[in-house]
Structures are given as C-alpha cells and as structure tokens.
Amino acid sequence: SGDTKIKIKKKRERGWDVTCSKRGQTIDIAVLCPNSVYSSWLQMVERSSCSSVLLSFFRKGKFLHHYENYGATAKDIADWMKHPQPPQPKTPEVPWSETDSPVFHLTDESFDSFLEEHPAALIMFYAPWCGHCKKMKPEYDEAAELLNKGSPGVLAAVDATVHKAVGDRFKISGFPTVKYFEKGEEKYTLPQLRSKDKIIEFMHNPQAPPPPEQSWEDKPSSVSHLGSEDFREALKKKKHALVMFYAPWCPHCKNAVPHFTTAAELFKEDRKIVYAAVDCTKGQNHELCKQEGVEGYPTFNYYNYGKFVEKYNGDRGEAGFTGFMRSLRGRDQGKGVKRKEEL
C-alpha cells in the first residue's frame, strides 16, 4: 500500500532482511535458510529445496505464533505482521482407506485371506504422514483403476502404522515399501515402482527388479568411510580432514559424491590429508552425526587432528573441495617459511 514500504537487503549470514516500515514503525524479519539463499523478490519459496524453514513471531521476546504461509512474498509477510494471527487449524486428512479408492485396503486380519483369493498382488506398505507415500497415492490409484479392467493382478495397500503385525512380519522399515506376492508368497520388493506407468508395465509382465546399486562405501575410492567405532581415532592422525556426513537417498549428496571422490583421489598421496565420509543412516552413526552438529544432508565439517574447526559451506564441485584443501596446505607452507626466516 502507499504508506507501507518494504525494504529487502541481503545479509552476510546467508539470508535476507525484510524490513517493513509503516508510519514510523519498523519491523525487522530475518530470513535464514541453512542450505540455500532465497531472495524475497521471488514469488515462491520452494519448500523441497529448503524444507527446514520455520517462521516464528516474537513480541518483546515472547513467542506468540508460527507463520505457515510458505508460498508468501515479502509483502504477504509484512501485511501479516500488522495483525499477527495464529495459524488456522488444519482440516483432518481423510484416511486413504476411507476414500473412494480402487485400491484394496488390507488389515492384519484380512491380509492372508486376500492373498489366497488373489494369486497376483502388488501391495504398498505406507504411513499416512509419509511425503513420498502421499506423492505416490494418486499414481497407485490411477494404476489400480486401469488394471482392474482386465489385469490378472490387483493392487492393495496396508497402513503399516495401524496394522503393525503385518508390517513387522515383512520387516517394513521405510515408506513406501512395495512388494509383489504370487500365490500367497512374497516374491519381490520393488523400490523402483513409483509411477502409474511403471506399476502397470510391471503388472503386465512381473520381473525381478534390477540388482541394487552398489553403495558408495563398497566402491573402491580414496575416500575414507568412517563410523562411530573409528571416527575419532582416524581423524586424530590427520592434520587436515574434510568429512562429508550424508544419507544414501539424499539427491544433493549423490550430486556431491563424484566431486568429493575425485578430490580425495588428487590428495591420496598426502598422508596429512584425508577426505572422509560418514553414512548417518547406519547403526550408531546417527548418534555420531547428531554429536557433530549434522542437521541436514550433506554436511561438510573440517577437522584438525580430530578437533572440529569449521563447517565447509563452499562450492560442492571438485574445484571447491580441492581449492579448500590447497588453501590449507598453502597456509602450512607459509608458516614453515616464516619459521625459517625467524631462525
């Protein structure tokens, strides 16, 4: 409006200040994103790229409300600040099993009898809160609608958070998990089936899934893969250690892996330097990652003889990883020259 001015400036701490001035009053909003910087001139913040954003409103140091319009522009936020209101209660989500779905919804009690009646069945084990499950549901529904018109197989689903006996029986540990059953017996686990077309294609010609991709840890490389049992001891021996904390499913991690691996190869002859990696999803590594301040993936920490020095927030390409280490090595050489001059 005419009497409201919105001023936006970039902060040094990788964020943006939104300042709303109205009739002599100034309200400051600091917007910080841990992985990316977003200009408030953008019409929309992509939550998938910065999912850890939380906007909270404080008055005189006291928390009052969260602000939950994540598609907001700077003006939307400034307007809300004039009359802050708590978020509206969300409409309860209707359970998938209670919707008009062509998918068969199974329970602990009905599971075995259903498989006896249907010799070929694809079953999706899901959790209502799971984002990947929510994305897959409409694809699964559409595939079921088409397959019900003449396919030898059927599509079913189990809410493993409610029907825990079935989930435990088939060792369901992640969501969604898709399994194919033939004549009542579990035959395949199919992580690649997510889209309508792939589901239909599989059901018309059920085949064993391709072998799982070899993990980064199992591939030969100059990266040192560490865990909670050897992390401290290994880093104590290295003057310069750049450690990548990651999750195998994380797309940003997958993008960084080849560049990090190449950098490790370039410095493999230097015994004072190590490029190391920790899979935070494995066993006790989860606790280690928490202790090392890991809040998102990938996180890069620099250590000097086992002591944490700083987080690496530079470029995630080969040039960034190698340039960082070269600067440290150059600093070492500079100190050596200075000592000689003093002597």
Q: Checking DSSP bridges between strand 15-22 and strand 25-32, what pairing results, if any?
A: antiparallel
Q: Give the list of residues 6+ apart from residue 249 with CB closer than 8 angstroms, or none.
A: 281
| Structural domains of the chain sorted by starting position, each given as residue range(s) with its CATH number in brackets | 4-82 (no CATH), 96-204 (3.40.30.10), 224-342 (3.40.30.10)
Report the alpha-carbon angle 165-169-170, nearest 5. 125
Which residues are the active-site residues?
130, 133, 250, 253
* 257-300 confidence digits (pLDDT tens): 999 999 999 999 999 999 999 999 888 899 999 999 999 999 99
* 163-193 confidence digits (pLDDT tens): 999 999 999 988 999 999 999 999 999 988 9
Average pLDDT, the chain: 82
Q: Tokens in use for 14?
A: 């990788």
CA 325 – CA 330 distance, rounded (Å):
9
- 52 contacts 34 by C-beta, under 8 angstroms: yes
- 106 contacts 156 by C-beta, under 8 angstroms: yes
Q: Is the pLDDT of residue 78 over 90?
A: no
Q: Tokens in use for 174?
A: 């992640």
- Which amino acid, one-letter code, is at 44? M
Which strands make up the sheet holding 15-22, listed edge to edge? 4-11, 15-22, 25-32
Residue spans of alpha helices (H) in the chain:
74-82, 111-117, 131-147, 164-169, 196-204, 231-236, 251-266, 285-291, 318-342
* 207-244 confidence digits (pLDDT tens): 998 887 889 999 999 999 999 999 999 999 999 999 99
Whether the model pTM is above 0.85 = no
Q: What is the pLDDT of residue 70?
A: 55
